[in-house]
Amino acid sequence: MTEFDYRDGMLHAENIAVSEIAEQVGTPFYCYSTAALTNRYNALRDALAAQDVTICYAVKANSNQAVIRTFAELGAGADIVSEGELRRALAAGVPADRIIFSGVGKTRDELAYALSENIHKINVESVPELEVLGEIAAERGAEIGIRVNPDVDAKTHEKISTGKADNKFGIDIGRALDVFAKARAMPGVKPVSVAVHIGSQLTDLAPLRAAYETVAELVTALRADGHEIDSIDLGGGLGIRYKDETPPPLADYARIVQETTGNLGCQLFVEPGRMLVGNAGILVTRVIYDKQGQSRRFVIVDAAMNDLVRPAMYDAYHEIQPVRETRANTSTTDADIVGPICETGDTFARGRALPPLKTDDLLVFQSAGAYGAVMASTYNSRLLVPEILVKGDKFAVVRRRPSYDELLKQDQLANWQ
């Protein structure tokens, strides 16, 4: 049994029929598998077991507190990029000393709050940020990391590439020695870590090797310059299978980590997000109409781009299948799967082979656990969809669907004159 598979003609999430969940909570909804989250975390932990590595889950991939708590109970820390994510991680039970704060636009208030919570480390990404942090930390003190930009092309989608010279992230590695020296001269600031992250959805390990080798050379140079570098943050970015990608074996990734950084005596941090949650979640939707246009067939569903924006934003691919298993001899025709939002961009897929469908049939979007619900909005005044966590033969609503009254009350009309 896999975490999501067909049995008795119906798709199951672990030991529960997806149709049963749909009947109880309505559609659309996200569904996550506890077993899948656990299995993926344990696989990465075991691959890196020979090294001093802390896994900090990248909360931005899926910030549901039940998901974060699942990883926290397995021993994970958290990689966060905002005060809101920091508060979510703490509320979900992640110890403060296992939280790392990254991101290019940390505000003064966010930096002060992070220091007040005594999180493990703040990764500084610019000289102006360093100067602000220096002012805040002058009296209380702070050990920090500095994120460098190694100018390595991750060979991934341009909108999720973060390690090239023309990306907004990190400090140009050619300036690193000067910036570390500036940080060391500041009262209360001690730079002890180098951080790097070159992008997301990487299926080729060569760019990671290149980035890690560059960072290792920098650590050696920094130590020669008198810095006490005790840790390296290697970021995340490992990809998953959406269509026909071949993600690299975790053993190969672990070997690269060992070969590039193993002789430095540093504590290591990795920040996986998508590879932990992407294939641990699905989006379930219901057919509204199967419409035959003049030249195209449209399957209109009750999920929309506000629920899952990746196809509209990145032209991202998600496998789409009926929840009821299709018989081998069933005829199919090509269809565009679209949502009800008044945007042509509200299109999930074009030209997918699907059997005849009728109103209320259920479809499932695979590989929707990462950058799905976390990027959702209420565009067209649509309600945020619920999130479900399955464990064995039980499930829980870990984010409920709000009511229209709650949506309207957010506008505070009574305060407008």
Q: How far apart are CA 221 and CA 217, in angstroms?
A: 6
Active-site entry in 31, 56, 266, 342: 342
Q: How far apart are CA 295 and CA 5, in angstroms?
A: 34
Q: How far apart are CA 97 and CA 328, in angstroms?
A: 53
Looking at the chain, the number of H-run helices and the number of E-run strands are 12, 21
342 as an active site residue: the answer is: yes
On whether the CB atoms of residues 256 and 205 are closer than 8 A, the answer is: yes
Q: How far apart are CA 371 and CA 278, in angstroms?
A: 8
What are the DSSP calls for 337-372, one per residue? EE-SSS-TT-EEEEEEEE----TT-EEEESS-SSSS
Burial class (CB in 10 A: 0-12, 13-18, 19+), 404: exposed
Count other C-beta atoms under 10 Å from residue 163's C-beta. 28
Q: How far apart are CA 356 and CA 78, in angstroms?
A: 44
Single-letter amino acid code for the residue at 95? P
Q: What is the largest CA-CA distance in the chain?
A: 73
| Torsions phi, psi for 260 (to 5 deg) | -95, -30
Q: How far apart are CA 26 and CA 14, in angstroms?
A: 19
Helix intervals (H) in 272-339: 274-277, 310-314
Catalytic positions, written as ranges: 342
